[in-house]
Amino acid sequence: MPLETNRQHVLAQIRTAEATAHRVSGSVQLIAVSKTFPANDIRTLYQHGQHDFGENYIQEWHDKTQTLADCPEIQWHIIGHVQSNKSRPVAEHAHWLHTLDRTKLAQRLSEQRPDNLPDLQVLIEINIANEAAKHGIAPEELLPLARTIGALPKLNLRGLMCVAQADADETKLRRQFSQMQDLLAELQTVAPQADTLSMGMSSDMAIAIECGATIVRVGSAIFGKRDYAK
């Protein structure tokens, strides 16, 4: 299926979910998750007006930024775990980081963000189902980390991100996404500018939108099945 047809289908699903949830049309932003897919696929969608792309793997993404240097309006969202020794390309080339989960990484990004660039927009990743294999902080750690980030220059704390439990039924998903909405309200007590909830993927975006997602991260529903499990 042509990529743009897939993207239009996803956009229609987003608009339907917004209407079902009595939310303003256009209040949910689509990030096209292009990990494992070639730069040319990104270019195709860019030419149709998609500007926000999500990538997980720093080397792969960095290579794509070079290839796509002639697409100046791309907004790169890093949505995978970032090791501290990989912080520099993120600080120098990303627009958003969805997976901030510790002080050390925040400090490095703040120091490495070039002065001539706008602040890096950051989200704190929450391990919402307390899964051992997942990254992200526990809800109790939110306010201390938020205060630390708030004191650092060149970072703008915009909200929260989660990956819901993969095998959860609808009831559980709803509980996890609703808890994220409560945590955003808690975050706003120390970071009033925080306005973003990044949650919902190809399989669960409608429920996430019902529960207040402002960004959905959609990969396979646009690009197709990934070759390898990543």
Ligand X SMILES: *Cc1c(COP(=O)(O)O)cnc(C)c1O
> Residues interacting with ligand X, by CB under 6 A?
33, 35, 56, 79-80, 163, 201-203, 217-221
For the chain, first and last CA: distance in Å?
22
Q: Closest residue to ligand X, Cβ-based?
A: 219
Q: Which is nearer to ligand X, 62 or 152 (CB)?
A: 62
CB of 221 to ligand X, least distance (A): 6
CA distance 31 to 76: 9
CA atoms of 107 and 60, how far apart (whole Å) = 24
59 vs 116 by CB, closer to ligand X: 59
Report, in Å, the least distance between residue 112 CB and ligand X.
23
Q: Which is nearer to ligand X, 109 or 221 (CB)?
A: 221
Which distant-in-sequence residues (6+ apart) come within 8 Å of 142 by Cβ?
124, 126, 160, 183, 186, 187
Structure tokens given for 74: 């791309």
CB of 198 to ligand X, least distance (A): 8
Please say which residue, 33 or 173, places its beta carbon nearer to ligand X.
Answer: 33
CB of 145 to ligand X, least distance (A): 19
Question: Could you write out the three-class secondary structure of 43-59?
Answer: HHHHHCCCCEEEECCHH
